[in-house]
Amino acid sequence: MSLKIPIPLIHSDKVRARVKRSRIASRTFSSLGQSDFRHLWFGMLLLMAAMNIQMLSRSYLTWELTHSPIAVVVVGAGFAPPILLLSLYGGAIADRYARKRIIQFGQLAMLAISLFIAFSISTGTVTVYHLVGASLGQGTIWAFLMPARQAIVTQLVDDEHLTNAVALNASGMSLMTLAAPGIGGLIYGIWGPAATYFTISGLTIGAYVLMGFVPDIAPVARGSRRIWRDIKEGLVYTRHNRTVLMLLLVALSTAVLAMPFRSLLPVQIERVFDMKVEALGLLLSMIGVGSLFGSLVIAGLSKNNHRGWVLLGSSVLSGVAILLAAATTSYALALVIMVVLGIGDSGRRALNASLIMEQTDEEYRGRVMGVYMVNFGLIPLGAIPLGFIAQWFDVRLSFAVAGGALVAAAIGYTVLTNRIRRL
């Protein structure tokens, strides 16, 4: 007879806890074990660093040139009209042509724009019209680059790792939202806007080089028919896929109500807190702190973790955070609130995109992500009214309107439909 020695329960519980934590950590970073996705991911880090530094630099430079909240939101939302007009076309292109080549071409075009602004600043010729033009150009590029970049993820990982890969993308974006604005604010404050834009250019070059290591993948569907037929098919598919349609409506609420909030932060920094660009960089970095934490949690979720509820709860949390930002006059408290906002943002961003792609057939993913990008083209629907409220009344009132509307929208989706709740 074998002798069985009982293991103390407390020891057994500790072992099980360590095993569980190890499994969660392994699941959280599982997609990075695939080299193709890893190259894409690191390239995305550099590109998102460039974009976050640029958002800070462009908004603060606009404020320095004009001291007009309306000008700040117009320049900040300038990328939206091209996205609205061209994203459907960009999505169809992403399903027809090699997605890697689309991304590489877009990165080269982004580089050209950032160098143009850098030299304009260096020669003392930069105007707000240059910044509007740059914003429009970047929106045009983004309309083609982002559907291809979102859809290529599905070609580099299997369906089992799709949510994880998209969440890690969001984690990377959050990491850059954390690090890049603070670095960008320091560069801007010490060496000025020209040096900041040359830094942006260097980061974009790095992203292009890393993208070169991603394999060339054959287009999903190359056809000889008119591309408008492809676009129409994508729209019909989206309309009939009710779950995808509801997820797109959630994305719309975010784009119209939450995104314009960030473009008005320079106004809050100077008018409410009486501080400068370095303070803006730290404020944006705190959003990144929360986003990084939240997106890593999202990356560890499985299909059994009520992801729909997490998505809706994250939207409510973002709205509440914006309401709190409207109420405070304390910069220290605002830093804490930005962490909360970042946690909410990560849930919305990571889960929304991953659930949309998960619920979409492969041959339509580029076109559906094109529809997803259209939401960002509607940002002026929120940005312009909020800019006028900030101009005529108070920036805090514009925050309160945006936050209250986002909370109401999220609660409405929760109450009125179960399609998202059951995901």
What pLDDT sits at residue 218? 73
Provide, rounded to the nearest whole percent, the portion of the chain with pLDDT above 90: 23
Comparing 168-172, 231-235, 326-330, the range with the smallest average pLDDT is 168-172
* Contact criterion met (CB below 8 Å) for 261 and 399: yes
Alpha-carbon gap, residue 281 to 276, rounded angstroms: 9
Q: Which of 61-65, 79-83, 229-233, 342-346 has the highest mean pLDDT?
A: 61-65
Question: Which comes out higher in pLDDT, residue 113 or 18?
Answer: 113
Q: What tens digit of pLDDT does each residue of 166-180 get?
A: 777 767 776 776 678
Residue with tokens 């997609």: 31
What pLDDT sits at residue 10? 52
10 Å Cβ neighbour count for 64?
12
Q: Which domains does the chain have, with CATH numbers?
A: 33-416 (1.20.1250.20)
* Contact criterion met (CB below 8 Å) for 296 and 349: no
Q: What tens digit of pLDDT does each residue of 179-228 get?
A: 787 788 889 888 999 999 999 999 999 999 999 999 888 776 655 567 78
160 secondary structure, DSSP code: G
* Contact criterion met (CB below 8 Å) for 118 and 198: yes
What pLDDT sits at residue 323? 93
- Please provide the average confidence, as pLDDT, over all residues in the chain: 82
What pLDDT sits at residue 231? 83
Which ranges of 254-394 would DSSP assign to H, the alpha helix?
259-263, 265-271, 277-299, 307-327, 331-358, 365-377, 380-392
Whether 242 has a pLDDT exceeding 80, the answer reads yes
Alpha-carbon gap, residue 88 to 363, rounded angstroms: 15
Buried b (16+ CB within 10 A) or exposed e, 30-62: bbeebeebbbbbbbbbbbbbbbbbbbbbbbbbb
Angle of CA points 379, 143, 199, to nearest 5°: 90
Whether 128 has a pLDDT exceeding 80, the answer reads yes
Query: 418: buried, middle or exposed (CB in 10 Å: 19+, 13-18, 0-12)?
Result: exposed
Provide, rounded to the nearest whole percent, the portion of the chain with pLDDT above 70: 88
Question: Which comes out higher in pLDDT, residue 368 or 141?
Answer: 141
Q: What DSSP element (H or E) covers 155?
A: helix 128-156
What pLDDT sits at residue 310? 83
Whether 8 has a pLDDT exceeding 80, the answer reads no
224 secondary structure, DSSP code: S
The sign of the dihedral angle between the CA atoms of 67, 72, 73, 75 is positive
What is the rounded end-to-end Cα distance, in angstroms, of the chain? 51
Q: What tens digit of pLDDT does each residue of 79-115 get?
A: 888 888 888 888 888 888 888 999 999 999 999 999 9
Of 291, 304, 311, the closest CA to residue 246 belongs to: 311
What pLDDT sits at residue 194? 94
* Contact criterion met (CB below 8 Å) for 322 and 258: yes
Whether 6 has a pLDDT exceeding 60, the answer reads no
Comparing 54-63, 85-94, 375-384, the range with the smallest average pLDDT is 375-384
What pLDDT sits at residue 106? 94
What pLDDT sits at residue 213? 92
